[in-house]
Amino acid sequence: MGTVTRGTTNPNRLRRMDRWIAATHGAELRRAADPVAVDLGYGAAPWTAVELLHRLRTVAPHARVVGVEIDPARVAAAEPYTRPGLAFRHGGFEIPLSRRPLLIRAANVLRQYDEAEVAAVWQRLCARLAPASEHSHGGLLVEGTCDEIGRRHVWVALGPQGPRTVTFATRLGSLERPSDLAERLPKALIHRNVPGEPVHAFLRDFDRAWAAAAPYASYGARQRWMRAVRDLAADWPVADGPARWRQGEVTVRWEALAPRG
Ligand X SMILES: C[S@@+](CC[C@H](N)C(=O)[O-])C[C@H]1O[C@@H](n2cnc3c(N)ncnc32)[C@H](O)[C@@H]1O
- Binding status of residue 186 toward ligand X by CB under 6 A: no
Of 15 and 30, which has the nearer Cβ to ligand X? 15
Question: Amino acid letter at 214?
Answer: A
- Binding status of residue 12 toward ligand X by CB under 6 A: no
Between residue 97 and residue 126, which ones bind ligand X under the rule CB under 6 A? Answer: 107-109
- Binding status of residue 155 toward ligand X by CB under 6 A: no
Number of residues that bind ligand X (CB under 6 A): 25
147-152 long-range contacts (CB < 8 A, ≥24 apart) are: 147/183, 147/184, 148/8, 148/10, 148/13, 149/10, 149/12, 149/13, 150/10, 150/12, 150/13, 150/14, 150/15, 150/16, 152/180, 152/181, 152/183, 152/184
The distance of closest approach from Cβ of residue 4 to ligand X in the complex, given in angstroms and rounded to an integer, is 4
Among 15, 71, 208, 258, binds ligand X (CB under 6 A): 71
Among 29, 32, 48, 86, binds ligand X (CB under 6 A): 48
How crowded is residue 31: how many other Cβ atoms within 10 Å of its Cβ? 12
Of 121 and 166, which has the nearer Cβ to ligand X? 121
Q: Which chain residues interact with ligand X by CB under 6 A?
A: 2-9, 13-14, 40-43, 48, 68-71, 74, 92-93, 107-109
